[in-house]
Chain A
Amino acid sequence: MIALPDLVVGGLAVGTLSAFALGGGLLRSRRHLAAQRAKTAALRAQLDGTSRVFTAEVEHLAARRVPAAARQAAHPHVAVPGPLNPQLAGSPLGSALEQVLKGLHAELAAQRTRIDAAAQAGMRGATREIQAALYRMQDALRGLQQRYDDPELAQTLFELDHENEQSLRRAQIAAVVCGAWVGLAREESHLVDAVTGGQARLAGYQRVKVHNHLPAGTALVSHAVEPVAIIVAELLDNALRHSAPDTEVVVNLEAVHHGVCVTVDDAGLGMTQDERARAQRMVAGSEPILLTELGDPPRMGLAAVGQLTRQFDLGVDLSSPSPYGGVRAVLRVDSHLLTRIDPEELPPAASAPRSTRRAAVRDTANGSAAPGGTGPKAGAPAAEGSRPATAVPWDEPRLAATPQDEARPAATPQDEPRPTTAPWDEPYPAATPDHGHGYGTDQDDQSAAPPSDHHGPRDSGGLPQRRRRSRAAGQAGAPAPEAAPRRRPEEAAAALGALQSGTAAARSAAGPNTGAVPAVSDGAPAANTAGTAADDTGHDRNDDEGGTAR
């Protein structure tokens, strides 16, 4: 009986103990749970905070940064704001957001180019059609101008033609800006024609004064003609637009070492430093053109100039101010785009200003006795002091060295000591065989002409002409025929024949006294003897040359 209560006590004790133990465990686990809860709550709070920050950041991205980035594509000066939380900058989230912006930027740029290209293609097609239509209109108008000369009708036709040219210029510029070809193939043309043609495409062209200081015959190769005309028209348009209507716009065409420069000066407002820099950037043509960047309405002039300078290897410079206070624009045409056209065979247009050098040639022809045709022996009568002096105005290497130029015969005496360095020259030696002709080879049919050069200038204003060059010479020395009656070769031959026989007779009489002269006259045709012997001022050099030619 005693064992049962003990058992009960023992059992209770065990139960109590285990209850204590379990209670402790429970308490511990409760505490643990509470700690876990707290931790979870803290973590949740942190998570909430982070996601709020993230949301805010994305909202900021959408609301501020993306639009700014999109605007920046079009306007580079727009600044894109950074993330809301500056600490985010280096974090993965920050860089991921940056990536978003970068991707957006790239895609926008691609889209922009694509859209612009589409716009350009559309415009190109339209302007091409318009340009062709305007050319047809031009043909029609010029046909009418040729056919009708009633003043009232002609006035209307002139005005229409001018309007048409202006529209044509606009269409052509738009096409060129959109990447099209200039739209018209031309033949080689005088450079002054291209400049004058460009001038004619503008309203107010009467204010433009072109001064042509180029040697006659300076021309552009065919593919450069229309681009030069377009560029000159644009530069002149800017000049006319930005200067007062009572001022002149001065154009100078000058030969430079590397080619030809067309300088356009206006007396207008001028440009600020920024404008000048922008204009210079545009005409350099180094950046691709986007229509959307040209403004509204698009200002296409300089963009077209840039496009053309890049395509045709021309140079335009707007960086220096004009001495007139306005803008100076200089178009440089390098010598590989230049060629020569014989101005006698194919003269420049009637309205194109004549070369100032040509006037110099004409004055010389009038003033002293040096019209064309003296080529063969032009080197000899250098003793006439007046000639080198009057020849100075066109004392230019290139002019002197071009054999086709009408100025050449008179310039020849000068070019012997001068180096001829002009790059697009025909070689100067091309002119020298003439010396040989005069002295040696062609004497059968030209025996009269070479000696006459010695005497002609002294007794008459005109010189006999070599037949081969007579046409060119007639044109060049155009005013000369009225000034002095020209002697025909046959007359000169007769006169010289008489002189020749006289000197021969005298020489044979005084034969033993003169040593050198008979030695020459033995083998040579009589004309030469006359030339050398009758030259009383004693040009030893002539004798030398005569000797070598033989």
Chain B
Amino acid sequence: MTGRRGGRPLVPAYLSTGGVARPSRTHLERLSVLTGSGERAPAELPAAQAALLEELEHGSLTVVEAAALLRLPVSAVLVLAADLIDRDLVLARAPIPPARRFDPDLLKRVADGLRDLKHP
């Protein structure tokens, strides 16, 4: 997966989904985490879905990571992932929200409160 070469890709992205760009389920996002469910893939799985499943065999990936590995746009991977989820071959988890910085003022007040508890 390392040797991505330059040049124009021979196979356009729309072929991976058969021209569909509207995923069957809409809750997936760029950072949704995909995990293979471990079930055996049926033989008649479309090539791109099989490729995505194969990537997930090595562990969980976010949608963008899978897109980069498969050299497909995120929109195509969303469709593929949604189809695989429909077939119960892949599990998806909502993206982990980025940790928010706590309000320093609040922290200071908590610290003060603790100190007050310690030294009444």
Is the CB–CB distance between A345 and B71 below 8 Å? no
Known: A151-B21, A154-B21, A345-B3. A351 touches B73 (CB 8 A): no
Is the CB–CB distance between B57 and A197 below 8 Å? no
Known: A157-B21, A347-B1, A350-B52. A193 touches B47 (CB 8 A): no
* B4-24 interface (Cβ within 8 A of A): 5, 7-23
Residue A194, interface by CB 8 Å? yes
Is the CB–CB distance between B11 and A197 below 8 Å? yes
Is the CB–CB distance between B10 and A158 below 8 Å? no
Report which of A145, A187, A353 forms a contact with B75, defined as CB distance below 8 A. A145
Scan B15-58; emit 1 where CB is below 8 A from any A CB, else 0: 11111111100100010000000100001001110111010011
Residue B72, interface by CB 8 Å? yes
| Interface residues contributed by chain B, number (CB under 8 Å) | 42
Q: Complex: how many Å from CA A482 to CA B39? A: 11
Is the CB–CB distance between A162 and B10 below 8 Å? no
Residue A56, interface by CB 8 Å? no
Q: Complex: how many Å from CA A359 to CA B78? A: 25
Is the CB–CB distance between A359 and B21 below 8 Å? no
Known: A145-B73, A151-B22. A350 touches B16 (CB 8 A): yes
Residue A354, interface by CB 8 Å? yes
Is the CB–CB distance between B8 and A351 below 8 Å? no
Is the CB–CB distance between B78 and A149 below 8 Å? yes
Most central of A145, A158, A162, A165 by chain B CB within 10 Å: A158
Is the CB–CB distance between A350 and B51 below 8 Å? yes
Which residues from chain A contact B52 at a C-beta distance below 8 Å? 350
Residue A420, interface by CB 8 Å? no
Residue B90, interface by CB 8 Å? no
Most central of A151, A353, A478 by chain B CB within 10 Å: A151
Which residues from chain A contact B48 at a C-beta distance below 8 Å? 350-351
Is the CB–CB distance between A193 and B10 below 8 Å? yes
Is the CB–CB distance between B51 and A345 below 8 Å? no
Q: Chain A nearest CB: distance from B26 CB in Å?
A: 8
Which residues from chain A contact B46 at a C-beta distance below 8 Å? 351
Is the CB–CB distance between A187 and B57 below 8 Å? no
Scan A142-169; emit 1 where CB is below 8 A from any B CB, else 0: 1001101111101101110110010000
Report which of A152, A162, A225 forms a contact with B14, defined as CB distance below 8 A. A162
Q: Chain A nearest CB: distance from B78 CB in Å?
A: 6
Known: A151-B75, A187-B7. A478 touches B54 (CB 8 A): yes
Report which of A138, A158, A165, A205 forms a contact with B21, defined as CB distance below 8 A. A158
Report which of A165, A186, A346 forms a contact with B12, defined as CB distance below 8 A. A165
Q: Name the CB-closest residue of B to A188.
A: B5
Is the CB–CB distance between A158 and B11 below 8 Å? no
Which residues from chain B contact A157 at a C-beta distance below 8 Å? 21, 75
Which residues from chain B contact A479 at a C-beta distance below 8 Å? 57
| Interface residues contributed by chain A, number (CB under 8 Å) | 46
Known: A149-B75, A349-B71, A351-B47. A196 touches B11 (CB 8 A): yes
Q: Name the CB-closest residue of B to A341.
A: B3
Q: Chain B nearest CB: distance from A264 CB in Å?
A: 17
Residue B91, interface by CB 8 Å? no
Q: Chain A nearest CB: distance from B52 CB in Å?
A: 7
Residue B74, interface by CB 8 Å? yes
Report which of B15, B20, B26 forms a contact with A351, defined as CB distance below 8 A. B15
Q: Complex: how many Å from CA A350 to CA B70? A: 6
Report which of A151, A154, A193, A478 forms a contact with B58, defined as CB distance below 8 A. A478
Q: Complex: how many Å from CA A139 to CA B12? A: 11
Scan B54-86; emit 1 where CB is below 8 A from any A CB, else 0: 100110000000000011111110100000000
Which residues from chain B contact A148 at a C-beta distance below 8 Å? 75
Q: Chain A nearest CB: distance from B44 CB in Å?
A: 10
Q: Complex: how many Å from CA A354 to CA B54? A: 11
Q: Chain B nearest CB: distance from A149 CB in Å?
A: 4
Q: Complex: how many Å from CA A138 to CA B13? A: 11
Is the CB–CB distance between A346 and B3 below 8 Å? yes
Which residues from chain A contact B18 at a C-beta distance below 8 Å? 206
Is the CB–CB distance between A161 and B13 below 8 Å? yes
Q: Name the CB-closest residue of A to B80.
A: A350
Q: Chain B nearest CB: distance from A521 CB in Å?
A: 42
Q: Name the CB-closest residue of A to B9.
A: A349
Q: Complex: how many Å from CA A205 to CA B38? A: 31
Residue A135, interface by CB 8 Å? yes
Is the CB–CB distance between A200 and B57 below 8 Å? no
Q: Chain A nearest CB: distance from B54 CB in Å?
A: 6
Which residues from chain B contact A194 at a C-beta distance below 8 Å? 10
Q: Name the CB-closest residue of B to A184.
A: B8
Which residues from chain A contact B9 at a C-beta distance below 8 Å? 142, 349
Is the CB–CB distance between B5 and A187 below 8 Å? yes
Residue A221, interface by CB 8 Å? no
Q: Name the CB-closest residue of B to A353.
A: B47
Most central of A155, A186, A345, A479 by chain B CB within 10 Å: A155
- 25 A-B pairs whose Cβ atoms sit less than 8 Å apart in the complex: A142-B12, A146-B74, A151-B23, A154-B75, A154-B76, A155-B20, A165-B12, A184-B8, A186-B7, A186-B8, A194-B10, A199-B15, A200-B11, A200-B12, A205-B15, A225-B10, A345-B2, A347-B1, A349-B9, A349-B11, A349-B71, A350-B48, A352-B11, A353-B47, A359-B43
Q: A206-B18, A351-B46 are in contact. List 12 more A-B contacts (CB 8 A).
A: A142-B73, A155-B22, A162-B14, A165-B12, A194-B10, A205-B15, A347-B1, A350-B71, A351-B48, A352-B47, A359-B43, A479-B57
The 7 A-B pairs of least Cβ separation, nearest first, read: A154-B75, A197-B10, A154-B21, A349-B11, A158-B14, A155-B21, A351-B16
